[in-house]
A and B are shown apart, each in its own frame.
Chain A
Amino acid sequence: MSMMKYEPWGLLEQMRREMERAVDTRTAEGSSVATSDWVPAVDIKEDADSFVIVADIPGVDPKDIEVHMENGMLTIKGEKESEKKEEREGYKRVERSFGSFYRRFSLPDSADPDKITASSNHGVLEVRIAKHEKVQPRKISVNS
């Protein structure tokens, strides 16, 4: 029989952790550094021949986005500039963050650093990293 620690506040602790996770804007996994001003939300998907990273980066000029990969780490970073810097007056509500963003992902060895494509559309960055051909699923027939 295993012994369990009596933790009546487990649920609240769990809520607190959830909250911290939300507040820390996904910095927990150490994928961003203190120098970035904001962290984009991402989806990471894997299909048969590639990994796809989709990041929400509204308001970022595509030429200000940098994507590179080294030692199995994919880095996306860039800069979001305010539309009109000169007139910062007359603001009734400001929720948007500006400045630099930075995020890193560690990818499995099957990702091919030479085959990366990136595109940006409607404020969404899509980075596609092809898998090495040898790791793509192959059907092996069984000989009798």
Chain B
Amino acid sequence: MSTLNQLRRSLGRTLENLAEGWQNLRERAGQALTHFRPPAKRDDLDTWEDQVIRHSADWGLLATEVQEDGESVIVRMEVPGMEKADFDIDVIDNHLVVRGEKRVQKERRDGRFHVMECAYGSFERALALPVEVDGHAADARYRRGILTVTLPKLRPAMARRIPVNTA
């Protein structure tokens, strides 16, 4: 077998694996995979926290479910380890935009890490909402690492009877 053929086969196999990997990833995570980046610097000081954030995972899963009932759309997002004040939630153009900053806890500031899988830093996730909602009447709660946002529908589903006219 010529080297060229060997190379071609090798490349084909690799790309196949790559494509398959992506597909698995997409199926499993959808758009939940969210980029975490270091928060905007307030000054030039490179703190211990900045260093941890740089070394922590760049990507985290913000697994979400969107549920719709008669009056509202309910969004539940898994964002463990946050403080309520560090969330910034908006409804923009019928998207729910959740921004936040996951901080490294102060009591973990010394010692060294053996494993770092959790992501820290700033993140943003925008979710398209299935129907128009009233952003001003939204309600957000945070419990056990789950952010629950309840958004009342702008036009609640109403049963409508459509009369049939005779021609």
Interface positions of A (Cβ within 8 A of B)? 8-9, 12-13, 15-16, 19-20, 22-23, 25-26, 41-48, 52, 54, 56-61, 83, 90-97, 122-124
Pairs A–B under 8 Å by Cβ, sample size 11: A19-B22, A44-B115, A46-B111, A52-B108, A54-B108, A58-B145, A60-B144, A93-B30, A95-B32, A123-B79, A123-B80
Known: A56-B118, A58-B146. A95 touches B29 (CB 8 A): yes
Q: Is B78 an interface residue (CB 8 A)?
A: yes
B17, B24, B65, B73: the one within 8 Å of A95 (CB): B65
**CA A45 – CA B56 in complex, angstroms?**
12
Which residue among A8, A22, A94, A95 has the maximum number of chain B CB atoms within 10 Å of its CB?
A95
Q: Is B92 an interface residue (CB 8 A)?
A: no
Contacts A19-B25, A95-B63 known; 7 new A-B pairs at CB < 8 A: A12-B18, A19-B17, A41-B117, A92-B68, A95-B31, A122-B83, A123-B78
**CA A124 – CA B118 in complex, angstroms?**
10
**CA A93 – CA B74 in complex, angstroms?**
11
List the A side residues contacting B56 at CB < 8 Å.
43
Q: Is B94 an interface residue (CB 8 A)?
A: no
**CA A20 – CA B25 in complex, angstroms?**
9
Contact A42 B113 (CB under 8 A): no
Q: Is B122 an interface residue (CB 8 A)?
A: no
Contact A122 B25 (CB under 8 A): no
Known: A23-B28, A43-B113, A43-B117. A59 touches B14 (CB 8 A): no
Contact B67 A90 (CB under 8 A): yes
**CA A44 – CA B118 in complex, angstroms?**
10
List the B side residues contacting A46 at CB < 8 Å.
111-112, 114
Contact B111 A45 (CB under 8 A): yes
Inter-chain CB contacts under 8 Å: number: 134
List the A side residues contacting B111 at CB < 8 Å.
45-48, 52
Interface residues of B in 15-37 (CB under 8 A from A): 15, 17-18, 21-22, 24-25, 28-32
List the B side residues contacting A124 at CB < 8 Å.
80-81, 145
Number of residues from B at the complex interface, CB < 8 A: 52
List the A side residues contacting B142 at CB < 8 Å.
122
List the A side residues contacting B127 at CB < 8 Å.
93
Query: Nearest 6 A-B pairs (CB), nearest first?
Result: A123-B145, A47-B111, A58-B145, A123-B80, A19-B21, A58-B78
List the A side residues contacting B11 at CB < 8 Å.
9, 12
List the A side residues contacting B14 at CB < 8 Å.
9, 12-13, 16
Known: A44-B115, A45-B112. A12 touches B145 (CB 8 A): no
Contact B145 A43 (CB under 8 A): no
Contact A9 B10 (CB under 8 A): yes
Contact B118 A43 (CB under 8 A): yes
